Chain A
Amino acid sequence: MATSIETQRVGTELPVEVENDKKTKPDSVRKLPSKMVTKARIIRMLSLAGLTWGIPLVRLVSGENPRRQFQELGILVAVPMGAILLFLMGWSVLAKKVDTSLGQLPGPVKVWEQAVSMVEEHGVERGKERAFYQRQNERNARLLAENPETEVRIRGYTGKPTYLDQIATSLKTVFMGFLIASLAAIPIGLLCGMNRFMMNALNPLIQILKPVSPLAWLPIVTLIVSAVYVTNDGMFAKSFIISAITVSLCSLWPSLINTALGVASVDKDFLNVARVLRLPWYTRVFKIIIPASLPLIFAGLRISLGVGWMVLIAAEMLAQNPGLGKFVWDEFQNGSSHSLARIMLAVLTIGIIGFGLDRIMVIFQKMVSFQPEPAGA
């Protein structure tokens, strides 16, 4: 049955000329040539992912109204590309006019060079790591061969983290923080939305804690984590936990408020259905209230992840969590001739990753949305 659902779902997303005959189509399952279904499916996936510029390309390949597709491509691809190009040109011209204590402000070319060298450095660093473990294994094997009683020691590699490692650390930290925030925010939001007593009890606290900056939370979190999490060989580094908790403290509010709003504004008709059916509490919550508020919950989660990613950089700078924030801080303190270019690279990396995270959340948001998608979305 699953395939027929797919076909049907796709049917609503068909190109314009097919959509027009939808009104006259019978209620029965409509059969479409498989090529058209594939095309519609690709277009649907692209629009779900927000990659709207891919849609005219797909249509062009299938030979659909080439002139219009080229026009669309012009708007969706050429215009943004032109704007980016203009920005890069302006940047490189203006950068040459600014002299700092670290030398001339780097232009896009210098930043690109740094990006390449960072990736190369990563390769070299990994090579060293492999070599280190190989040496260690060989030495241990030799020692064991000489005397099987020897207690061989296996040491971890202690080389410095590369730029890519730091990106990975940042992502891990933000996901950890986001996870903690979501696990707290969604249940509390549900309670607030369903119960006026809870809403009135928690609302003032939420309103007061919501605008607090991550920099204000950090010292408190640091002291509490240091006091509570005393083991030194725990699963996570202290700096990791401090950063993650700071992220969650700042990013849980949009999720919490949106969840409460979503639950409180569940369509009264849906609740009347639940009342007529006399659904028990559990079924009402999980079959009616949560599905009905999912679109708003996910809108909140999307904002939360964005806030979390923004806050993370500040938190990492101060908590010395080996991620992008620490990288920026270290380069700033370092003050070599490459530092400014590297910091700019970090800024771009942060921006691009933030954009990517947002797109991923948009996809989730669209997946749980039961409203028909607006045309052209």
Chain B
Amino acid sequence: MSYLQLKKVSKGFGEGSLRTEVLKNINLSVDEGEFLAVVGFSGSGKTTLINLMAGLIQPDEGEILFKGKPVKGPGPERGVIFQNYSLLPWLTVHGNVALAVDQVFPHWSRKAREDHIARHIEMVHLTPALYKRPAELSGGMRQRVAVARTLAMNPDMLLMDEPLGALDALTRGTLQSEIENIWSRDRKTAVLITNDVDESILLADRILPLNPGPGATLGPDFEVKLERPRDRTALNRNEVFQKIRNQVLHYLVDAGSRKSVREEIEKMTLPEIQPVEW
């Protein structure tokens, strides 16, 4: 049985003529312990997809099952790492992690909780910045706090919404390796949403391309059968890596051009023009 399953899920926003279908008929299943990457262009509905998995929004049609039970709302068992970090700016690094730990493990002793917090902050190498506020941290450090906060909740599953999207290329590389490293320790089920094909190959066991929206659907699976731990520099010359990279890129570029032809046709319809109200 799959760990997380999406059955014929559709989601759109708006009403009437302003309505846009973002996702259409999405079928997806993630196995326990699997690292799945969903790759797509920006604006293709990636964030909507992860919000559905997290339970932050509800599907219009279809159902989402987590461990066989329908997802009714968000919860700490599915930890989300948000694209924009979503750290609370009035709390320190410690405070941000502590908020999650105190809420998820209220029955632990104070000492146990403090140890747990300290261990997770250490895991992302932020112990020296323990009592800094997010405004005093760089983008990479902020995202590491967000990673620590989510992992400290001991979620059954990790949902990552373009976690490294806002970072510069160098920081990105470092954090990709760190995430790979941390994930390999306990191999939690994980879904990563990204627009970076290299990142998805480096991290994931399986890659699913998301066709461009509106009405986005999923493309075919691409299995990534590369040994772990994966080394960024060595991968560049790895033939398997190059092959998958080309396949995924080709698929996405083709999907993108199919979309632009469709857009051309859609452009022919007359715009709805309203007179200016005086």
A binds B: yes
Interface residues of A (CB under 8 A from B): 1, 4-5, 8-9, 11-12, 27-29, 269-270, 272-273, 275-279, 283, 287-288, 291-292, 294, 370-372
Are B131 and A275 in contact (CB-based, < 8 A)?
no
* Contact residues in A for B91 (Cβ distance below 8 Å): 291
Count of chain A to chain B residue pairs whose CB atoms are closer than 8 Å in the complex? 69
Give the distance in Å from the alpha carbon of A279 to the alpha carbon of B82 in the complex.
17
Q: Secondary structure at chain B's binding surface: helix, strand, loop or mixed?
A: loop
B278 at the A interface (CB under 8 A): no
B62 at the A interface (CB under 8 A): no
Instruction: Name the CB-closest residue of B to A277.
Output: B103
25 contacts between A and B (CB under 8 A): A1-B131, A5-B92, A5-B131, A11-B136, A12-B135, A27-B126, A27-B129, A29-B128, A272-B82, A273-B82, A273-B86, A275-B74, A276-B54, A276-B56, A276-B76, A276-B80, A277-B103, A278-B75, A278-B76, A278-B103, A279-B103, A288-B88, A292-B88, A292-B90, A371-B135
- The smallest beta-carbon distance between B122 and chain A, in angstroms, is 13
B153 at the A interface (CB under 8 A): yes
**Top 8 closest A-B pairs, CB basis?**
A269-B86, A370-B89, A28-B128, A370-B90, A372-B135, A291-B90, A276-B74, A275-B74
Interface residues of B (CB under 8 A from A): 54, 56, 73-76, 78-80, 82, 84, 86, 88-92, 99-100, 103-104, 125-126, 128-129, 131-133, 135-136, 141, 153
* Contact residues in B for A8 (Cβ distance below 8 Å): 131-132, 136
* Contact residues in B for A1 (Cβ distance below 8 Å): 131
Are A276 and B90 in contact (CB-based, < 8 A)?
no
Are B86 and A270 in contact (CB-based, < 8 A)?
yes
Given that A27-B128, A269-B86 are contacting pairs, would A277 and B100 also be in contact in the complex, using a CB cutoff of 8 Å? Answer: yes
* Contact residues in B for A279 (Cβ distance below 8 Å): 103
* Contact residues in A for B104 (Cβ distance below 8 Å): 277
Are A277 and B76 in contact (CB-based, < 8 A)?
yes
Other A-B pairs, 15, CB within 8 Å; known A277-B104, A278-B74: A8-B131, A8-B136, A9-B136, A273-B86, A275-B56, A275-B73, A276-B74, A276-B78, A276-B80, A277-B99, A291-B91, A370-B89, A370-B133, A371-B89, A372-B135
Are B89 and A4 in contact (CB-based, < 8 A)?
no
Are B141 and A27 in contact (CB-based, < 8 A)?
yes
- The smallest beta-carbon distance between B147 and chain A, in angstroms, is 14
Give the distance in Å from the alpha carbon of A278 to the alpha carbon of B82 in the complex.
16
